A and B are shown apart, each in its own frame.
Chain A
Amino acid sequence: MSQFQEKTQITRIERFTEDIVRLTLDSADIASIAKPGQFVMIRTGNTKDPLLRRPFSISQTSNNKHFQILFKVVGRGTSLLAHCREGETLSVLGPLGNGFRINCKSRNCLIGGGMGIAPLLFLAKTMLRKCPNTPPLVVLGARNREELTSLVSDFAELGLSAHTATDDGSLGHHGLVTDVLKTLDLGTDCTTYVCGPHPMMTAVHLFSQGRNYDCQVSMETSMACGMGACLGCIVPVEKGGYSHACTDGPVFDAKELVWEVK
């Protein structure tokens, strides 16, 4: 298992909205071996405060040279990152975690909500290369059109027309991604790949379970190290006890996890 800790240069900064930012980072080591669903841990500054790295899934790699992260400003760490400039360097650790398992034999449906869409672009790209005869269906949800537009066009560039749902109805279906999911022809053998807010992942898991589809979920938890040492990033598992999102995940077979169904 190869992992690197290195200084990477920010080669491009794109601001999709006031608080949604995509950074392109220069790292051949990480970009050339990363798999969809894996993540990196990034130091957001050079001082002791904030102290810990922040986890980000890899949203895309290009030419085995660059990789991208997509994030929304939610706190001090992401705020610092959002204010970085092109040419600055960031300390990055990765790639970490297991990644998605691509199943070319079944139909594939990618379902993302909000920033959970980030790793799905990388997944879609890899799927198109690995299983060219079965392009995936894509369902994306967010709060509004503003948050979703650039992400939808990223998939369009790959030739994938994403189904969309927004909370305010400003783009696509007015409501939940699972509403959209129910209207799609997914056949009898489909694998769902999900990343997004917990209630959304719960709903997609239940939908998949009802149809006997395999469902892979990418879990987001807080973590200090990303490499199995701090034991902070636990996910409750069906067999009892916990798994660790950093080394056992972040992608899990949804059936193996405990879901609180209200």
Chain B
Amino acid sequence: MGSEITSVDLRVAIGSLNLRNPVMTASGTFGYAREFEPYVNLHRLGAVVVKGISLEPRAGNPSPRIVETSCGMLNAIGLENVGVERFISEKMESLQGLNVPVVVNILGDTLEEYREIAKRLADVEGIAGIEVNISCPNVKKGGVAFGTAPEMAAAVTAAVQESSSVPVIVKLSPNVTDITKIASAVEEGGADAVSLINTLIGMAIDYRSRRPQLANVIGGLSGPAIKPVALRMVYQVARAVSIPVIGVGGIESAEDIVEFMLAGATAVQIGTANFVNPRASEDAVEGLAQYVVEQKLGSIREIIGGLILS
């Protein structure tokens, strides 16, 4: 790659969190980042978001947990994770060695749990930001209630923000009547940014066996199938709030990223595409740099919200 490309200005800022480029990885699709080292130069990414962490370890749902659907996949992992204590003692050291900002995704069943996790992470070195999952649809008692009620979403945001010393990103659920109301509520609650969308709740049935294809019956839809929905919601939310919006949903390439940024996203997360092409995130960074050069832009920031409507 020529020096012209490597010197391209792709920098963006999520509150006080400065990223060398807008390409992040989505929680739950990138493990704890080290899994992708054989394929990706991690230091070339904007940030990595690690798997969602709860206060206590969770074993997750029984099998089958995933099923492929048209241009996408459904998952009902059930938030399997090692819990915040083991995360700190077993995973953080390896993350601290990475030359890339690490955002930790957190989730809980109660307001107190969210607050407690944020507190435990507050003194841990090497965490650049917290992403609050208020939208995971899989666990019956899970965060979905927070993500669908504006006042609860705001309360969780405030609780985490109080206990946290790093930027707080709130990840929004698309499974709501009006996502802009939730976005505005978390902005008022003190969120530094919002990321959207989490998975859309879906279902798959095997017509032969007459059974659901997921053990959990329902699951979260992701992949290219949800991109138009994500794009629409990013567009609406970006007009409703003044904090940065991080676009998520079916993003595979630099072209997809440009579309989300035109719709108003400051940064993006690549999710399901990591499963298909583990190099997708780094490929997208290269593609974005090329785009900036080809379009003769001063920086990638020039296209944020640049959708031409007339």
Instruction: Give A contacts to B, CB under 8 Å.
Output: 1-5, 43, 48-53, 91, 93, 221-225, 227-232, 234-236, 240-242, 247
Contact = CB atoms under 8 A, between A and B. Distances in A.
Contacts of A225: 274-275, 278
Interface string B70-109: 1111010100100000000000000000000000000000
A138 B267 CA distance: 56
A48 B275 contact: no
Interface stretch (B59-67, B166-174, B290-298): B59-67
B68 interface: yes
B223 interface: yes
A43 B276 contact: yes
A1 B35 CA distance: 10
B15 interface: no
Most buried by A among B35, B36, B223, B279: B35
B272 interface: yes
25 contacts: A3-B39, A5-B39, A5-B277, A48-B223, A51-B68, A51-B71, A51-B272, A51-B276, A52-B73, A221-B63, A224-B66, A224-B272, A224-B275, A225-B274, A227-B31, A229-B31, A229-B35, A230-B75, A231-B77, A232-B64, A232-B65, A232-B75, A236-B63, A242-B63, A247-B35
Contacts of A3: 38-39
B80 A229 contact: no
Given A3-B38, A232-B65, A227 B71 contact: no
B275 A242 contact: no
Nearest to B77: A231
Contacts of A234: 60, 62-63, 65, 80
Interface of B: 28-31, 35-36, 38-39, 59-60, 62-68, 70-73, 75, 77, 80, 223-224, 252, 272, 274-279
A222 B70 CA distance: 16
Contacts, number: 92
B212 to A, nearest CB: 14
A51 B250 CA distance: 11
Chain A interface helix/strand/loop/mixed:
loop
Nearest to B273: A51
Given A224-B73, A242-B80, A50 B68 contact: yes
Nearest to B224: A48
A172 B59 CA distance: 44
A231 B277 CA distance: 16
A219 B108 CA distance: 33
Contacts of B223: 48, 51
